[in-house]
Amino acid sequence: MMMLRAGHRLALVGAAAVSLLLPGCVAAVPVGAAAVIGKNVMFAGSDDDQTKDAEKAARKQARKLEREQRREAKRREKAEEEGIPPALQAMTAPARPSSPVAGTVPAGMQYLYGSGEAAALSSQAYRALAQHVRASADYRQAGIEVASVVLAPGSSLASPHFVECGAKPLAIVLDIDETVLLNLGYEADEAARGLSYDDARWRRWEATGAGKVDPVPGAVEAINAARKAGVAVVYISNRTAANAPATARALEGAGLGKAIPGETLLLKEEGAGSGKDMRRAQVAETHCVVALVGDQLGDFSDLFSAAGMTPAARRAAADGIQIEPLWGAGWFMLPNPVYGSGLKGGIGEVFPANRRWTDPGAAAAADAPAGTLKE
């Protein structure tokens, strides 16, 4: 009887959670249905601790959904203050990622790890890098001044200036994850089990997944060409420094050469922030960095990660008159639709208001059969 009452309590908490998840919806889980659900709640054992654990998990979920509801209320209040009509307020809401479904591959993973399009983009970026590095090495050999692409202290995205090179030896600086290594084992496990990112699981992956990675298409050839031209290869990553030996093994095993922790492999120390400017500056003190390679804007400058930087502001800065000329000419970006700082923004932040379109045939289209996929 105790178990049945516990089941009812759990079902009612679940019903409250559903009502929080669907604010403003006409349809909701009725109390009667919750009672029926409660009668069917089964626990693996008779130990009361299991019941308490289940109740605790349900309450935690309910609190999480309640926090989301409060955030949604604040967003609506802010939208009203900014004069956004109620009909358009939903268009300004941040997109909520759907919960991962075990056994399915999210679209971003399909693209990055499975598509020919992603392979082509990566090869294209690395071919451009190889050409740029070869030209830089030729200029140096001919006595022509070579420019660094590391932003100097005091720079802004509107007014960048760069570290002086002098006669320092040449180097390129690359991120690791989804820049030179594809974390196939980790992402396959995530997709198969329907998981979201977990820091502890990621650290276990760093330590044990060295043999379950592939090089990004084009990376091995470009990096080998840089070394052959006498250009140093340095990796800067937010993988943990404690797992440096395992990361070095992963790089070497993927054909990307040796990386020496603390010298050509600069990882994130425990308790340090995620910014990379200090480590880039460390490399720029001893080398003329002629190329930066990454899959996030933060792989090029921490200025892109400034507090309050909206998606629109980041995009405008990356495409601005001062920064845009660097892409493909010292700064090389790799595609990553799976995770990272670029996956942000609701409809109101991503699509300009003056580019909104209302389908004149929307009503008819709602009753029409599904169309074919776009090429």
Residues 131 and 158 grouped into a single domain: yes
Q: Which of 225-229, 280-284, 355-359 has the lowest mean pLDDT?
A: 355-359
**Whether residue 90 has pLDDT greater than 50:** no
**Whether residue 356 has pLDDT greater than 70:** yes
Largest CA distance in the chain: 87
**Residue where a domain terminates, one of 59, 88, 117:** 88
Compute how many other C-beta atoms are within 10 angstroms of the C-beta atom of residue 243.
22
**Whether residue 9 has pLDDT greater than 80:** no
Residues 200 and 164 grouped into a single domain: yes
Tell me the average pLDDT across 104-114: 97
Residues 195 and 305 grouped into a single domain: yes
Half-sphere exposure of 322 (CA within 13 A, CB side): 11
Residues 143 and 25 grouped into a single domain: no
pLDDT, tens digit (0-9, with 9 covering 90-100), for 76-87: 666 555 555 444
Confidence of residue 57 (pLDDT cuts 50, 70, 90): low
**Higher-scoring residue by pLDDT: 367, 351:** 351
In a domain, 221, yes or no: yes
Kindly report the CATH number assigned to the domain that includes residue 147: 3.40.50.1000
Whole-angstrom CA distances from 160 to 23, 132, 299, 316, 322 are 46, 20, 16, 15, 7
Across 51-190, the runs of DSSP E, i.e. the strands, are 170-174, 181-182
Confidence of residue 65 (pLDDT cuts 50, 70, 90): low
Residues 137 and 37 grouped into a single domain: no
In a domain, 216, yes or no: yes
Beta carbons of 243 and 204 less than 8 angstroms apart: no
Beta carbons of 234 and 205 less than 8 angstroms apart: no
Tell me the average pLDDT across 196-221: 97
Residues 193 and 259 grouped into a single domain: yes
The pLDDT, as a whole number, for residue 55 is 62
* Per-range mean pLDDT, top range of 14-23, 125-134, 304-313: 125-134
**Whether residue 34 has pLDDT greater than 70:** no
Tell me the average pLDDT across 210-231: 98
In a domain, 375, yes or no: no
Tell me the average pLDDT across 107-134: 98
Confidence of residue 353 (pLDDT cuts 50, 70, 90): very high
Confidence of residue 10 (pLDDT cuts 50, 70, 90): very low
In a domain, 32, yes or no: yes
Residues 133 and 217 grouped into a single domain: yes
Instruction: Name the DSSP letter for residue 178.
Output: T
Question: For all residues of the chain together, what is the average pLDDT?
Answer: 82
Residues 228 and 150 grouped into a single domain: yes
- pTM assigned to the model: 0.73
In a domain, 360, yes or no: no
Domain hosting 113: range is 107-337
Residues 148 and 240 grouped into a single domain: yes
Q: Which of 145-149, 260-264, 365-369 has the lowest mean pLDDT?
A: 365-369
The pLDDT, as a whole number, for residue 352 is 92
Domains in the chain, number: 2
In a domain, 253, yes or no: yes
In a domain, 368, yes or no: no
In a domain, 98, yes or no: no
Contact residues for 268 (Cβ-Cβ < 8 A; gap 6+): 237, 238, 239, 240, 241, 274
**Whether residue 136 has pLDDT greater than 80:** yes
